Structure 1
Amino acid sequence: MSVTLYRLDGCPYCEKVADRLDELEVDYDSVWVDAMHSQRNEVKRVSGQRAVPVLVDEDRGVTMAESDRILEFLNTSYAEASA
């Protein structure tokens, strides 16, 4: 499984996503991004924008931003799959 979470230290939206990944016991890598939007080139490369969090799930072919959308995806893809 290859899940990557692009996140910013101290970002509450990023923490919500990381906490949910931990609750669901999903193995993932964190990529810590720069606090300055203009320096988030890797995030822009993978998602087309510079905001975080961004989740990349290579196994499912998904790249998405916005914590609420990510949480919905995790609940649908991982919580229901383990139920």
Structure 2
Amino acid sequence: MADITYYELPGCPFCAMVRTKLDELGLDYETIEVPAAHHERTRVQEVSGQTGVPVITDEAHDVVGMPESSDIVAYLEETYGDA
């Protein structure tokens, strides 16, 4: 089982940005596709306190429910990048 769980909505450009970074870094992650209707996104709301996506959790670094694509990309680069 992967340490990173990635919540996304297919077709979401912000989600695509995060997925691209996960793939560029060669990270193993579990993807959970959320429903299009915000009121049906109970699982992501339980994790992050809101219904927007993308959201990640990273058990290896005690990150739970991190939202905002730019914050996620910066976190992934800082934590898993070569720099």
Q: What TM-score results when the alignment is normalised by the length of structure 1?
A: 0.93
Alignment-derived partner of residue 72 in structure 2 = 70
Alignment-derived partner of residue 45 in structure 1 = 46
Q: Can you list the C-alpha shifts for 1:27-47, whole angstroms capped at 9, x where unaligned?
A: 001000000001000000011
Moved over 6 A (4+): none
Alignment-derived partner of residue 16 in structure 2 = 15
Task: Measure, in 2, the Cα distance between the counterparts of 1:59 and 1:47.
Answer: 17
RMSD: 1.0
Task: Measure, in 2, the Cα distance between the counterparts of 1:79 and 1:65.
Answer: 19
Q: Can you list the C-alpha shifts for 1:19-74, whole angstroms capped at 9, x where unaligned?
A: 10000000001000000001000000011110000010011001200000000100
**Runs of 5+ in structure 1 lacking a partner?**
none
**Runs of 5+ in structure 2 lacking a partner?**
none
Task: Measure, in 2, the Cα distance between the counterparts of 1:39 and 1:68.
Answer: 24
